Amino acid sequence: MTHRLGLAARTIVPGQAAGTEEILVHGVAAVCDPLGGLYLPESGTLVVSDLHLEKGAAFARRGMMLPPYDTIATLNILAAVISRYDPKVVVSLGDNFHDRKGSQYLPADLRAMIGSMARGRDWIWINGNHDPDGTTDLPGVCTDEFVHAGLVFRHEPSLISSQDRARGEIAGHLHPSATVRRRAKYVRRPCFATDGTRLLMPAFGVLAGGLDLNHKAMHGIFDRTALVAHLLGRDRIYSVRYDSLLG
């Protein structure tokens, strides 16, 4: 993840889209960005998921003094993607804050930073399991579910058995990551995961971590024969079919 921290520190030229991967989800064109955002060019929508802002502070409240820099680091990356695409709509797919108190106790400078990012665009906060009550004193709308641009945005993915719900669903929650094995070397990275019908977003927060696509929590989400992992690389997206992850 060091590269994401480093990348955000560099100046991002607006409109530049190096190393991205263009895909279709339920017929809607989408761009997977190596910084972890999904951009829908037709509707000018930027999607990010699982920011887990104030995770450090959430732990500090329980006596573990994690570095208080995770929120600023995550927001720096978010600012970078926003300036890259200048979206009309930003959708944050839930677990926006790591706990219920997160947005309430958010330091003023960080609150202002979100404010300036949201200026001139619509901002949708999807409620997640970590922050089911929505955000406090922040611009934007809080909702459990958002239907927009031919897709449906919710935090937790529906099971594949409920076909209709799953179709065109963009969800987060599971923090997908994938492991690629070649010549006995293993590389594990967060990824966008999609079977063409629906898509799972990688976690955007710098302290969020990942869960392997093989984990049992991922069972019953995808048609695995069509599943592709778009891994976040240093400067680009690497797209690997699920079947050939391990070589």
Interface residues with other proteins (CB under 8 A)? 1-2, 5-6, 9, 55, 57, 59-70, 72-73, 107, 179, 181, 183-186, 206-209, 216, 246
- In the complex, minimum distance from the CB of residue 136 to other proteins, in angstroms, rounded to a whole number: 17
Alpha-carbon distance of 181 to 143, in angstroms, equals 39
CB of 14 to other proteins, least distance (A): 23
Question: Of 41 and 209, which has the nearer Cβ to other proteins?
Answer: 209
C-beta closer to other proteins: residue 30 or 208: 208
- Residue with smaller CB distance to other proteins, 74 or 96: 74
Q: How many CA atoms lie within 13 A of 176 on its CB side?
A: 28
Min dist CB 74 to other proteins, Å, is 9
Closer CB to other proteins, residue 142 or residue 174? 174
Angstrom distance (rounded) from CA 48 to CA 36: 7
Measured from the CB atom, the residue of 70 and 95 that comes closer to other proteins is 70
Cα distance between residue 120 and residue 107, in whole Å: 23
Residue whose C-alpha is closest to residue 232's, from 49, 29, 32: 32
Minimum distance from residue 142 beta carbon to other proteins (Å) = 25
In the complex, least distance from residue 26 CB atom to other proteins, rounded to whole angstroms = 31
- In angstroms, rounded to a whole number, what is the distance separating the alpha carbons of residues 243 and 229? 10
CA distances from 104 to 10, 52, 97, 110 (A): 30, 14, 10, 12
Residue showing tokens 């599971």:
174
